[in-house]
Amino acid sequence: MEGVVIGVVVALAVICGLIWSNKGGNFLVGFVLGLLLGLIGLILVLVLKPSAARQQAGGAALTRQCPHCSRAMPRDAAICPNCQQQSAPWLYHEGRWWSKNDAGADYWLDERSGQWIQYGSETRPAEGSSNQPGFSS
C-alpha cells in the first residue's frame, strides 16, 4: 500500500513538473511543488505562470521613452511609431537591455534601480544615470 502512495505522489510531482516546463518554467520547480504540496501543487502550477524572467526576454512589450516626442515606444524599435523620428534601438542581450552613449561606450540597464551601468564598471552607476545615455539631441 505504501508503495502505491509513493508512486502516486511521484507521478503527481512529475505531472506538475511537466505542466510547469510546458509553461516555460523549470521542470524541477514544478516537480518539487507537486512533491511537497500534492494536489495543491498541481493546482498551483495550473494557475500560476512562471516568473517574469522569461517573459521579459520577448522584449517587444517593453517600452522606452522616445528622445524626440517623449512618448513610449518599443525598446528595440529604431523608429518611433508616434513621431516617426529615428533613434538608436536598445538591444536585448544576455538578459539585459543594452545601449550606447555618444562616445560609443556600452551601457546596460539595471531594471531594479532603473539606472544605466557602464559595461565593465558594474559596481558604480553611470553618470547622469537616471537618463538614457546617448540621445541628447
d(CA 109, CA 119): 10
Site for Zn ion in 58-87 (CB under 5 A): 66, 68-69, 80, 82-83
Taking the least distance from each CB to Zn ion, the nearer of 82 and 113 is 82
Shortest approach of Zn ion to residue 61 CB, angstroms?
18
Taking the least distance from each CB to Zn ion, the nearer of 19 and 66 is 66
> Which residue is associated with the grid cell 511521484?
10
Number of chain positions touching Zn ion (CB under 5 A): 6
Shortest approach of Zn ion to residue 60 CB, angstroms?
17
9 touches 35 (CB < 8 A): yes
Sign of CA dihedral 83, 89, 90, 91: positive
Segment 88-91 long-range contacts (CB within 8 Å, at least 24 positions apart): 88/134, 88/135, 90/64
Taking the least distance from each CB to Zn ion, the nearer of 15 and 77 is 77
The binding site for Zn ion (CB under 5 A) comprises: 66, 68-69, 80, 82-83
